[in-house]
């Protein structure tokens, strides 16, 4: 996908955690039929977070080895 950089490839795990919580919440609310829609939204969210316009971890900071976006590439 255009604009994806190695700096934002860490998007997947947080979204998977969000998805698990969202599916559980939907089931609790009697909306189990939302699961496939939430899974589709999760894929879109991963793509959104990987876009190169996003801010990330400033270079040289303690979390820099996590692969943050320094805010470039806009």
Partner 1 sequence: MRSTDARSITALAPRLASREVTSSDVTETCLARIAEGNGRLNAFITVLADEARAAAKRADAEIAAGRYRGPLHGVPISLKDLIDLAGAPTTAASRVLAGRMAAADAAVTARLRDAGAVFLGKCNLHEFAFGTTSEDSAFGPVRNPVDPARSAGGSSGGSAAAVVAEMGFASVGTDTGGSIRIPAAVCGCVGLKPGYGELPCDGIVPLSRSLDHVGPIARSAADAWLLYRVMAGDPNPPPLSDRAESGSPLRLGVLKPYFMDVLEAGVHAAFAAELDRLAAAGVSFAERSVRHASHTATVYLHLQLPEASAYHAPMLEAHPELYTVPVRQRLELGRYVLAEDYVRARRGADVLRGEVDAALDGVDALVLPTVPITAQPIGSASLTVSGQTLPVRALMLRLTQLFDITGHPAISLPCGASDGLPVGLQLVGRRGGTRQLLAAAATIEAVGSPAARVTM
In the list 31, 32, 63, 66, the residue contacting partner 1 (rule: CB under 8 A) is 31
Given a contact cutoff of 8 angstroms between Cβ atoms, the answer to whether 15 and 46 are in contact is: yes
- Report the C-alpha gap between 23 and 54 in whole angstroms: 26
Work out how close the CB of 65 gets to partner 1 at its nearest, in angstroms, rounded to a whole number.
22
Give the residues across from 4 on adjacent strands: 51
Give the residues across from 51 on adjacent strands: 4
Q: Which is nearer to partner 1, 44 or 64 (CB)?
A: 44
Instruction: Write out the residues near partner 1 by the rule CB under 8 A.
Output: 1-3, 18, 22, 25-26, 31, 33-34, 37-38, 41, 44-45, 47-49, 51, 53-54, 74
């Amino acid at each position: 996908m255009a604009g994806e950089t190695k700096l934002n490839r860490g998007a997947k795990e947080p979204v998977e955690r969000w998805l698990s919580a969202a599916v559980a919440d939907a089931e609790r609310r009697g909306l189990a039929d939302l699961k496939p829609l939430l899974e589709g939204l999760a894929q879109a969210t991963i793509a959104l977070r990987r876009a190169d316009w996003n801010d990330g971890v400033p270079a040289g900071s303690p979390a820099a080895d996590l692969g943050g976006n320094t805010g470039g590439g806009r």
